[in-house]
Structure 1
C-alpha cells in the first residue's frame, strides 16, 4: 500500500518526545515544511515536492534577558487558523509563536516559575488551533491557556485559562473533519489518561470528562465527533466525544504509542510507537449503529527505531512521514 521514498536528512536527531513531528503543506508553492525537536532546538526543513530542493532553519528556545537558553523544548506544531499559520513552540520556560516559516517571532509567553522549588517540572506541552482564531496550549499544572490570535500582527491576547486536568497535559487536538455540526471541537489528554472534551468559544465549555485508567494518554485526535486516543499500553480507544461511550478498543502496539494522526478527507488513522511499528487504520462511521469502526490497513517496521513522531503529509493520507529517537532523518512513505 505504501513504499519508502528518499529520506530527508536533518541536522539534529529527534528527541524522545510525544508527537515529535509536525508537517505543513503549502500547496501554492509546492513545498512541505517539517519540524523536529532536539533538546533546546527545533529543526525546520522545507522540502520541494519534486525532491530536488531542501532548506534548513533552526530555532532555539528563548528566555527573557538570556542570550542562550538551555530550556528543553517539549513540542513544536503548526497552527492553521482562518487567516494565518503560526508555528508554536512550547518549552520549560514558555511559549513562542512564530510566522509559519520560523522567520519572525510574534509572541512570547513566559511560564510562571513556582515560588518554592517543587518536585514537578514546569513546562508547556500540547498545542491545538481551534476554530478560526484560537490557539490552545497545555501546561504541566494541568491548565490550558487559550490565546486569541489576530488576523495579522503580534497583538496576541491570553483570553482564558481552562482548569480541569489534575495531571500534566500531554496532547490536544481540534475537530479535523471540517464538519460544522460537531458540537465538540477540542479534546485534551493528560498523564493519567483523562480526556476532556470541549466546546470552544469566547468562554470554552467542558462537555465531557472521560476518566483515565492510570495509564498516560500520549496522543489524541478528534474526527467526526469521535475521540481517538493512544495510550502507554499500546492501545487505541475510540470514544464518542459528547457522551464518552466507548466504540472500540484495539491492542494496536506492543509498546507505548507516541503519535497518532488522521487524514481528515479519507478517515485514515496513523499510529506509531516505541515498538518500531507504524500502522495505518481506516475509520468509518456506520449509519446503522451510529458508531465509529476501525479496521487495520497497513503496517511498516522501521527496524531498530523507537518511533516518536508520525504525520500524514496531506489530507487524503497519500503520504506520511516518520521520525525516530536519535535518528538523523525523516523517513517518508507514499502510496503505491
Structure 2
C-alpha cells in the first residue's frame, strides 16, 4: 500500500520523546515543513513536494535576551488556526511560539520554578517542563505542563499580543499529549482531549470558558499519544494498546493490541479516517477507522505495516489530510523517513 521514498537528512538525530515529529503542509508554496527535537535544539526542514529542494533551520530553547539559558526541549508542534499557523516549542524553562517558518519568535511564556535551593525543591525543579500542544478552533492554543495543568492561550489573528486566558486544573499527573477535533466538523460537542502520565483522559469543550465534559480514568499506564476524530478519542498507551472511546460518554468502543512495545505516536488523516501508530517495536501500522452515524459505533481495520529495522520509532505523522503520505523519525536517527501510497 505504501512504499519508501528518499529520506530527508537532518543536522542532528531525534531525541527519544513522544510525538517527536511536526509536519505542516504549505499548499500555496508546494512546501512541507518538518520539525524534529534533538536535546535543546529543534531541527526544522523546509522540503519541496518534488523532494529535490531542502532548507534547514535550527531553533534553540532559550529565554529572550539571555544567551546562555538553553534547556532541554520536550516537544515542537505546528498549531493551525483559521487566520495563522504557529510553531510551538515547549521545554523545561517555558513555552515559545514562532511564526510557522521559525523565522520570528512572537511569544515567550516562562514556567514557574521553585527559587529556594533546598533538596526537595531542587528535585521538583528538575521535573518542571511543558509538554502536550494543541490548537483549538478558533483562536486558542493549549499547552500542558508537568504539574498537570493546561495553559490556554488566546491568540490574535496577527501580531504578538498573545495572552494566557485560562488555566485548566483537572489532571493530577504530568500532561503527556493533547489533541483537538480534526474532522473539521463544528457540530462535535467535544473539541479537545488531554492525556497524562497515569493514562487519564479529560475531554473538553472550548470557549471563553473551557468546560470539562468527561474524565476517562487511566490504568496506571501512561497515555503517550492521543487524537480526537468525529467525536471519538483514540489513545495510545505504554502497553502497546490503542483504545477508542466515545468522547462525551467515555464508552469504550474498541481495544486493539496494536504493538509489542510502548506506543510513541499516533496520527489521523481526517479526510480518509486513516490512523497511523508507531512504537518502540520498530513497527509503523496504518489502520482505517469507520464511524457508523446511526449507532455511533467505531470499527477498526488493519491495512498496512512498515518495519524500520533496529529503530526505536519516536515520531510518525501523515503529510496530508488524506493519508497519501506519512513520515517517521527514530531515536538516534539523523533522517526523516518518508512513505507514499503505491
TM range (shorter): over 0.9
CA–CA distance in structure 1, aligned partners of residues 173 and 122 of structure 2: 15
Query: 2:101 & 2:198 partners in 1: Cα distance?
Result: 35
- Cα distance in 2 between the residues matched to 1:156 and 1:172: 20
The alpha carbon displacement at 1:63 in A equals: 2.1
Please identify runs of 4+ aligned residues in structure 1 that moved more than 4 A: none
**How far off is 1:118 after superposition?**
4.9
TM-score, normalised via structure 2 length: 0.97
Q: Which residue of the other structure, out of 319, 329, 332, is the alignment partner of 1:326?
A: 332
Distance 2:268 2:175 in 1: 20
Task: State how far apart, in whole Å, the 2-side matches of 1:48 and 1:65 are.
Answer: 33
User: Contact conserved, 1:15 with 1:325, CA < 8 A, in 2?
Assistant: yes
5 Å-filtered alignment, 1:1-336, equals 1-116=1-116, 117-120=121-124, 121-287=127-293, 289-336=295-342
Deviation at 1:288, TM superposition (A): 5.0
2: distance between equivalents of 1:290 and 1:243? Answer: 11
RMSD after superposition:
0.9
Counterparts of 2:294 and 2:255, CA distance in 1 = 20
Could you tell me how far 1:64 is from its partner in structure 2? 4.7
Whether contact under 8 Å (1:60, 1:69) holds in the other structure is no
Instruction: Tell me, in whole angstroms, the C-alpha distance in 1 between the residues paired with 2:216 and 2:87.
Output: 30
Shift in Å, 1:299: 0.5
2: distance between equivalents of 1:83 and 1:288?
Answer: 34
| Distance in 2 separating the partners of 1:81 and 1:59 | 22
Q: What's the CA shift string for 1:292-314, capped at 9, x where partnerless?
A: 11110001100000000000000
| Whole-Å separation in 2 of the counterparts to 1:327 and 1:298 | 23
State the alpha-carbon separation in 2 of the partners of residues 118 and 140 from structure 1: 15
Query: Please, which runs of 5 or more residues in structure 2 have no aligned partner?
Result: none
